[in-house]
Amino acid sequence: MAHPKTLIEFMELYPTEDACRQVIFEHRWPDGFVCPRCGHQRAWYLRARGLYECACCHHQGSLTAGTILARTRTDLRTWFLAIWLLASTKKAPSAAELSRQLGVTAKTAWLMRRKVTHAMARRRGEPRLRGIVELDEGFLVAGGCERRVAGAASATRRWSPSRRSTLPAAAWAAPTCSW
């Protein structure tokens, strides 16, 4: 599965909110869910609150904790598209353009753009991004929090054809502050 080169491909790869959530889940827990508190391997997804709850100790955590998507009220799919637009176009769209394309408010677009471009700017020395698949977990971490879960994907790992999900960064996933 190639990374999305076109909007059509993007829509095919990430057709729904659940698909996006699954991508993040697989990056965060490539070998399946593991409770950060007790190590249990089963969890429920609390859809209404967007949290995972450990089936054993009932610890609750967010899939996006520690990433630039943390505590967002914007759909994951909208974020995916924003990142794709900002990372894969030669001239990154302005906040106003992003607002139009994503159908979000100007303020939300500005905040999303700032978070994504800030994360991108942190990869100094990297060649120009060729696509969202090259975003790695360090990339999408919220500012100031770079701790990583033990055994999490390497910050430098890139997408390869053998990986099931392509998109964003091995980790909007791995790094975590609040878990």
| Contact window for Zn ion (CB under 5 A) among 7-15, 48-56, 71-79, 141-149 | 48-56
54 versus 173: smaller Cβ distance to Zn ion = 54
Q: Output the six-digit token pair for 90.
A: 């030669």
Cα(137)–Cα(144) distance, rounded to whole angstroms? 14
Interface with Zn ion (CB under 5 A), residue from 54, 87, 104, 152? 54
Please tell me whether residue 57 binds Zn ion under the rule CB under 5 A: yes
| In the complex, least distance from residue 173 CB atom to Zn ion, rounded to whole angstroms | 18
| Contact window for Zn ion (CB under 5 A) among 53-61, 68-76, 102-110, 153-161 | 53-61
- Specify the DSSP element, H or E, that contains 117: helix 106-121
Q: Which of 39, 157, 140 is nearest to 86 (CA)?
A: 140
Q: Which of 40, 12, 44 is nearest to 25 (CA)?
A: 44
CB–CB of 31/149 below 8 Å? no
Q: Which of 106, 105, 103, 101 is nearest to 84 (CA)?
A: 101
| In the complex, least distance from residue 34 CB atom to Zn ion, rounded to whole angstroms | 9
21 versus 40: smaller Cβ distance to Zn ion = 40
Interface with Zn ion (CB under 5 A), residue from 19, 22, 40, 129? 40
41 versus 74: smaller Cβ distance to Zn ion = 41
Please tell me whether residue 65 binds Zn ion under the rule CB under 5 A: no
Please tell me whether residue 35 binds Zn ion under the rule CB under 5 A: yes
Q: Which of 146, 136, 134, 123 is nearest to 170 (CA)?
A: 136
List residues binding Zn ion (CB under 5 A).
35, 37-38, 40, 54, 56-57, 59
